[in-house]
Structure 1
Amino acid sequence: MDLRIFTEPQQGATYDTLLTVAKATEDLGFDAFFRSDHYLHMGDVSGLPGPTDAWITLAGLARETKRIRLGTLMTAGTFRLPGVLAIQVAQVDQMSGGRVELGLGAGWYEDEHKAYGIPFPKEKLARLEEQLEIVTGMWATEVGKTFSHHGTYYDLTDSPALPKPAQQKVPVLIGGTGAKRTPRLAARYADEFNAPFISIEDTKALFARVRAAAEEAGRSADDLTYSNALVACVGRDEAEVARRAERIGREVDELKENGLAGSPAEVVEKIGRYAEEAGSQRIYLQMLDLDDLDHLELISAEVQRQLG
């Protein structure tokens, strides 16, 4: 079971804070550092000192880390033109020596679009499908040849489709809980499907839909990696769990129900159930208190170690 660290910097984090967490992620043996792609905080927080851009952050981290994978859950399709995004991701992949993964979603948080003057179209999923076709198509175009796309929302003519990523194939992540269109997009474009913040039972049903869509598309369902994103709140005892829950403004019982909370043994047991009952192969641990490096150290020593 891969454990990856997943951060939400729009809630309030500087680049230096993210760099510290990314380096700890690498030093403590986790598989990857991922971040959200948002420009506005959520809930009852100030968001100070303000947002950081996902791909600028990852470009910096690409030069400051050596082993861990780097990526987004999820890049908002509304924020970037697909041709520009293909360039950005390819460049960061080169800067990292081939360690980048692209999670791409439709975009959903209307308030941040209003706050920063970003158009918020109604037909987001249809746009996402074209974006996926363009980004993956540009990367797959042979050097010396050109890429064209004439769609409903985007028109590219004779693009040189450069630069190319360092990796032969940048892994593409698609996620969400949609019943039909999302599994179909994953079956066509994704290397990994991510189930965000849902129960074991709901994960099992969702993964089954994605697997069926893959087979229907003529692809082996086992070609995809299946993962979950879940909030983490682990403590050596009940008091420590309660302190960590309070720091992130959550209730312990709710976190135990909807996330990975409790003692290391409890969390290991629940991760095991996600693997055995739902087929999850990878967990993104949503870390909401980025100043609590002891939390990372505890998970590394007492959870990751038991998962092998």
Structure 2
Amino acid sequence: MSEHRHARALLLLCGLCVALALSYLFTALPGSLAPDVQGQIIWQLRLPQVLTAILVGAGLTTSAATLQIILANPLADPGIIGINSGASFVAAICLLGLGSVGISLPVYWLPLACFIGALFSTLVIFLLARRIGDLSPAAVILAGIAVSTLLSAAIAWLFWVADAQSLRNLTFWLMGSLDQADLPLTLAAAGVMLPVLGYVMWRRAAFNLLYLGPLQARIHGINLPRFEKIMLLCSALLVGIAVSLAGSVAFIGLLVPHGLRQLVGHDHRYLLPFCALSGAALMLFVLWCSRLNQGMPLPVSLITASLGAPWFIWVLYRNRGSQALVARG
């Protein structure tokens, strides 16, 4: 795909995001509602949901694409390798453990807590993977499964000490939801997430050097250990904020980068912007689909997994799973 076609495709994706956002914002409301009530629904309820969907989609897909090239592993996804579990575990402690003993943290502490959980689980996974396999792709996957299983068991134990209200709140984290979007919290999260996304996009050309191997990366002026640590920190930050806003969202990080590599190629100068915009568009579409059930909004992960898993299986079948990612030497 030429640069002009890339630019046109990016503009089309931007237009699609705008169209989906406006369609959801201004979907007809019951005529019986007063105009001021309709305005409150649009600007205080729907607008935060739209902004949250954009941030979560862009953050998760960019984080997944970053992890896949840093680890040279097509299965590197925040959910699969356990980063989501760390953020969800800390959120469960805040919602279940502290709530059961009458301790209530300010809502704006939750994103910070989720980031700490995501960062902690990332460090544990990579220390364990370095110990068992020198950070090989298989070692990272095995370490991620082990950490994710352990943290899932810890969350299950918290169920025994939680009250009924806390258990209902935990559903938000386990299934994913955009219903609790809060405009001040979303804007605060955007103030952190957007600079991180901007930094990753600014360094996106450096990812292409990783395909050439560590030696070539150093020749071109990339301090590989430092670069990997910074990008892992950025990924953990993006995941922690995304989980704090929308809970655990399944499959989107694994699905979008794989699909785009078949269309855009492996040049990260284009792949990362496409991932961010496509993730935002997909989450906006999921937000729109979640409202099809008027009685009760559908969980986000239910929609993303139901839509994404069949398509991902088709991509693997078509490409025999071997060309999904060109691993660096």
State the TM bucket, normalised to the shorter chain: under 0.3
Higher RCO structure (Cα 8 Å, ≥6 apart): 2
Which protein is richer in strand relative to its size? Answer: 1
